[in-house]
Structure 1
Amino acid sequence: MLLETARLRLRRFTIDDVDHLVELDADPEVMRYLTNGRPTPIEIVRDESLPRIVAQYDRHPGLGRWAALDRTTGDFLGWFALDPSGDGAEAELGYRLRRPAWGRGLAAEGARALVGHAFEAVGVRRVWAETMAVNARSRAVMAKAGLRYVRTFHLTFDDPIPGTEHGEVEYELRREHWPRVRQEWDAALRAR
């Protein structure tokens, strides 16, 4: 177990999670801004993605991709990631949740927990994330996790999906800004 929040448990993936990941990536709405709704083939998950995820835990302690479970029921909800970038002093925040978990604040809850983990336990200097400019829900999660908009940029794709023409966006939170963000979160909790 990496960490727990009020409603989530984040744990390491195992090879036994193939079916969870295949099911998650089979939902066209989950994959809308990634593959235009096309599922990830089981062979890719089983033979490439999942072995890479599992191997990463030892190379970059505290970083990686984590299975998200409902803390009460133990149901698989999706995943959250702090993927190491560069020399490991930076981490890319990511998340992918099953549709029944959408709209409940779970993405922001898990993302916030990982941002805190990145700065306090791992000691990264920067957490960043990217998404399509048109992916308003993901952008909202990034903002709720304390990340701030940095830029919009355009990539060239052989098989662009709808919305590509609006570009990609990058958000970040740097170590020097983490104490202020943490204070804002703590103040908001006390005000409840």
Structure 2
Amino acid sequence: MTPELRSERLALSAYATADEADFVALFQDEAVGRWFGDGMQSAAEDRALFGRIFDLVYAEERFPVWAVRHEGRYVGHAEIKPSPETWLDGHEIVYGLTRQTWGLGLGTELARLLTSYGHESLGLTEVHATVDSENTASLALLKRLGYTQAREVPEENGRTTLLLTSRLQGPPHGSSPRVG
């Protein structure tokens, strides 16, 4: 269910149990973890989340979830999944990279790889991303990749989530994900 994907510098593969400490460290880094889901959680909650990847997502083959590696080292998390949001019918990409890799262009490479996988391998005409309106780096990255803002969603906490969409128009273009 979770195929291996490769880009020029990144290798995406299913998580191994040995990745738990790196996963938890990524989600516990406030600069990264604040943008995932409902924001920062305790380390125990992140360990439980990691366990659910194996117990639910992989066991029930729900959707692909990847450990992201650069030069053989864990550098991030990625997924493409049916949106849990009632106001969004479709699939969305989720990604995050360690702070140490910021500024190297790996975020753009990762989002491009996930978007290509959605369009080309899953056959999706639309691939979505939901992003906190204050996450300017992710918003700029997605707009560079051709995502357009489709909707603003006010949240109960006073924040705003933006729905961005990549629409496949004509034949796929760009570098396709290398599976395998």
Q: Please report the TM-score for the alignment, with normalisation by the length of structure 2.
A: 0.80
Q: What is the SS of the residue equivalent to 1:123? A: coil
Matches for 1:49-128 after TM superposition, within 5 Å: 49-54=49-54, 55-57=56-58, 59-60=60-61, 63-70=63-70, 72=71, 74-85=72-83, 90-128=90-128
Deviation for aligned residue 1:2: 1.5
The higher radius of gyration belongs to 1
How many residue pairs end up in the alignment?
168
Of all paired residues, the percent bearing the same amino acid is 26
Q: Once superposed, what is the RMSD of the aligned Cα atoms?
A: 2.6
Q: Distance in 2 between matches of 1:134 and 1:2?
A: 32
Other-structure match for 1:155: 155
Q: Deviations over 1:67-116 (max 9, x none)?
A: 1001x2x1110112112237xx8321111111011111111101111111
Stretches of 4+ moved more than 3 A in 1? 32-38, 57-61
Report if aligned partners of 1:60, 1:84 keep a CA contact under 8 Å in 2. Answer: no
Other-structure match for 1:189: none
Q: Distance in 2 between matches of 1:118 and 1:60?
A: 16
Structure-2 change in CA distance of 1:3 and 1:36 (3 Å): closer
Point out which structure has higher relative CO (alpha carbons under 8 A, 6+ apart). Answer: 2
Other-structure match for 2:24: 22
- Runs of 5+ in structure 1 lacking a partner? 187-192
Q: Distance in 2 between matches of 1:36 and 1:122?
A: 27
Code of the residue aligned with 1:75 in structure 2: it is R
Structure-2 change in CA distance of 1:123 and 1:59 (3 Å): farther
Q: Distance in 2 between matches of 1:124 and 1:100?
A: 32
Structure-2 change in CA distance of 1:146 and 1:32 (3 Å): same
Structure-2 change in CA distance of 1:35 and 1:115 (3 Å): closer
- Runs of 5+ in structure 2 lacking a partner? 176-180
Structure-2 change in CA distance of 1:35 and 1:124 (3 Å): closer
Question: Out of 164, 169, 191, which is 2:162 matched to?
Answer: 169
Q: Deviations over 1:22-43 (max 9, x none)?
A: 11122121234458984x3332
